[in-house]
Chains A and B, each alone.
Chain A
């Protein structure tokens, strides 16, 4: 089983989809049950990945390799390291949670809805698994289609605009990325006389510095739009606000991570010198910091609850990219952990909004107030989600942000100083939001008789809360898992970094 574990994880949703097609569209509850079963199965088959993962080993594990298009050197090559393992777990967990949370939310075209989610799930897992650049690109593009339909069919009032914007933005970025991929591909052929898209091989290519910078920017456009980094973020609020709850959850929790993952898996290892170029790093760090502060400031202005959380994603993802381009172990490990954290906490926040939206069908913050009196369980869940996002110690957000700031401080103190303001602003807009929605007296009569969380809804939140606490209290296993891959990355981008650090420590003593 071990040698095909990843394929099983990858194709479980697709197999579920194949069966789903034979269930008649009118039996909605059968479809819902089946979709939840498939999503849960998707999570179950991914569990062995976590238990059998060998964190001491360097390189990729569970590797599977098969020829796909031999004449082009395209392979079906998948495998995981610590970074992708964590992101896959995130994906499978949220696959299940998204399916569970949409039980009541979707009434129309239920079959198509779950079909799209299953396709999306396969696409996302594929992105994190692929070790062949071509395969990666295929999955990367494939994710667009189901997400486009999820936003466009089951979304809010401005869904058409949001869906098309989402698709076109990402497509424009990825065609440029394709150009970069092809440049590497041909360079490899020029230097080694063979065609391949395998990442391990492409890493051997030595580009001339000017060209390496061009390729870096080509990748950058593709990944930065997906993250999204300032100033490519404008599709995100639209897509988030218009998407159905489960769509927003997946979008925030998993889809955005594809961009940061792209930086870690491709930009850094394949283009180490460009990634370590002082100018480029400065530009990226500045863009990240601008994203952090700008996102947070915009959050303070929002009247729409969901839009606020959407902009908070811009801010939080700014931390992730800042951590990556701090280019030291703390920064990168923190960044990966923060990606998981952002998935958990922002995912939870979108679910929180979804719960309320199902009851009241509005997201105007001014419509609410004093909800804590009506829905006490809900108030607790929301509080935990909010505090985890704000980075309260003992919850997950704190660990990630702290580690990133540590890394940023090590790289450049000014960056860290600016980034800290993002943490403070983050606490401000989240607490203010909580205050306006939950605290005080119930002023709006419509809010007086809202039912509290149902058992199903609690079932959605509990695993996430547990996970948030686990990371917050005992993050060591995560750092252990990340240690090897991060070490390889840093060693690749900054050769001799570890010896330098060791020498430094010896000197201090």
Chain B
């Protein structure tokens, strides 16, 4: 292990060490001073972000090609770490409110992010799988962190069972890949995979099942609404952004680098999955009354849009995936943070109607939420618009005309349920839930302002991020 290796692995190292440190410090801090641990986690994440930036100055492979630091890895590492930062900001107040503020939460959060960061940089199936499992196991526990809440328990159990199921499929796929090519390194697999390999196709399909679960793409989306609804809201925000982005990152990397040769085999699969995800997500969301559940279905639909970009099988498709997931992470964490803020102790207020009159009582919160919702719809000058635009542009470039038409129509349908939230917030009288809502705590305010500002900046000046994405979309 050389110094270069260590530097390329530095973000993960920092996160793992900090997580361990938090667990050591946890018994030493008194119950009402657990927020210091949150500060510690926050600082560690900032350091990891800095390490990510630093390691990106000297790109290359490390640990015998196990991990690779390139633009793609850096982009996704940054996404998951930023999601972690926003989650720490929004969860501290939440956990205090629910009486569950403890070091373990932050330790698990950091472990989970270290796993995702590993996935983002992995160039090899074994490290990919281990990263995925670290991320997943930590998330299962986080989903059930409020153990007195029966819905949270149900959510955690469901997430655990179906997640393990998905991991098994993934592992089966990995085993077949090794059987076919005798390699676990993605670049080696890519060069050894025969274009007409039958078993290779089966392996790709099995791995797609595994990834499909993790990204909650149809037809493997069944767990998402229940899990997202039951989990504590800051955890939901985290689950729908961080692990999803990391899963997409490995999905894209594996399927372009390792399975690039057999692209026409898996393209139809993903085409169908993209269409199903968009349609099921949007149409199911139309009928939801619970905000979290609605956002869960919307996240299925958004996974569908990203799958459209993957179906394009081109560099501009990869760039679109990157940009979209960056935008999506910001707006989704922001939206769930607002929901967590409104829901109050015990998460009692989660219906769409409970938001009524928010625009009168808390104009700032409502304005932020509106920005996120408009970005979900894809209104220009928000990040969501450019995200969708790049995706459909990439799809058209690859002649996926029908998928594009259906996707665009889907995004028009989706506007309906997002608008309903806007309607309730601004056009109805304040209700019980909103009348007594407490003011935004400074941490929450910071978290929301950062997400909203990011959403707008990516929407008005997308050039920088887009340029970086295009530059990094060349996967080898």
Q: Do A and B touch (CB < 8 Å)?
A: yes
Pick the contact of B415 from A68, A171, A185 — CB < 8 Å? A171
> In the complex, what distance in Å separates the CA atom of A153 from the CA atom of B426?
7
* B416 CB–A CB distance under 8 Å: yes
Structural contact, A138 and B380, CB atoms closer than 8 A: yes
A152-B426, A160-B423, A164-B423 known; A141 vs B463 contact (CB < 8 Å): no
Nearest to B415 among chain A residues (CB) is A171
Q: Does A137 sit at the interface, judged by CB under 8 A?
A: yes
Closest CB-CB distance, A126 to chain B, in whole Å? 10
Tell me what chain A mostly uses at the interface: helix, strand, loop, or mixed: helix
Give Cα A145 to B374, complex, Å: 9
Is there contact, CB below 8 Å, between A153 and B427?
yes
Q: In the bound complex, do residue A175 and residue B466 qualify as a contact, i.e. CB atoms below 8 Å apart?
A: no
Residues of chain A at the chain B interface (Cβ within 8 Å): 68-72, 109, 112, 137-139, 141-142, 144-145, 148-149, 152-153, 159-160, 163-164, 167-168, 171-172, 175-176, 178-179, 182-183, 185-186
Q: B415 contacts A142, CB within 8 Å?
A: no
- Docked Cα-Cα span, A70 to B470, in Å, equals 12
Check if B419 is an interface residue, CB within 8 A of chain A: yes
CB distance from A418 to the nearest CB of B (A): 34
User: In angstroms, how far is the closest chain B Cβ from the Cβ of A140?
Assistant: 8
B467 at the interface (CB under 8 A from A): yes
Chain B residues, CB < 8 A from A139: 380
Interface assignment of B405: CB less than 8 Å from any CB of chain A: yes
Q: Is B168 an interface residue (CB 8 A)?
A: no
| Per-position 1/0 for B381-419, Cβ under 8 A of A | 100010001001100110000001100110110011001
Residues of B contacting A178 in the complex (Cβ-Cβ under 8 angstroms): 389, 392, 408
In the complex, are the beta carbons of B381 and A142 less than 8 A apart?
Answer: yes
Set of chain A residues within 8 Å of B412, measured between Cβ atoms: 168, 171-172, 175
Q: Which residue of B lies closest to A167 (CB)?
A: B419
**CB closest chain-A residue, reference B367:** A112
- Would you list 22 pairs from A and B whose C-beta atoms are within 8 A, ordered by A residue? A69-B463, A69-B466, A71-B466, A112-B359, A137-B380, A138-B380, A141-B379, A142-B379, A142-B380, A142-B381, A148-B419, A148-B422, A149-B422, A152-B422, A163-B419, A168-B412, A168-B416, A175-B411, A178-B408, A182-B393, A182-B396, A186-B397
B423 contacts which of A68, A152, A176 (Cβ < 8 Å)? Answer: A152
Residue of B nearest to A135 (CB): B380
B interface residue numbers (CB < 8 A to A) = 359-360, 363, 374, 377, 379-381, 385, 389, 392-393, 396-397, 404-405, 408-409, 411-412, 415-416, 419-420, 422-423, 426-427, 462-463, 466-467, 470
Whether B392 and A71, one on each chain, are in contact in the complex, defined by CB atoms closer than 8 angstroms, is: no
**Closest A-chain residue to B408, C-beta based?**
A175
- Distance between Cα atoms of A68 and B380 in the complex (Å): 14
Q: How far is the CA of A235 from the CA of B303 in the complex (A)?
A: 32
Contact partner, B380, options A141, A163, A183, Cβ 8 Å: A141
Contact B409 A160 (CB under 8 A): no
List 10 A-B pairs, minimum CB-CB distance, nearest first: A138-B380, A175-B408, A172-B412, A141-B380, A152-B427, A69-B463, A171-B412, A175-B412, A182-B396, A171-B415
How many Å lie between the Cα of A182 and that of B395 in the bound state? 11
Q: Complex formed: what's the CA distance from A153 to B381 in Å?
A: 22
CB of A186 within 8 A of CB of B463, answer: no
In the complex, what's the smallest C-beta–C-beta distance from B286 to chain A, in angstroms?
A: 12
**How near does chain B come to A197, taking the closest CB pair, in angstroms?**
11
Contacts of A153 in B (CB 8 A): 426-427
Give, as a whole number of angstroms, the nearest-CB distance from A371 to chain B: 32
Rounded to whole angstroms, the CA-CA distance of A293 and B412 in the bound complex is 31
- Residues on B with beta carbons closer than 8 Å to the beta carbon of A138: 380-381, 385
Determine the chain B residues whose CB is within 8 A of the CB of A69 once the complex forms: 462-463, 466
Which residues of chain B have C-beta atoms less than 8 A from A112's C-beta? 359, 363
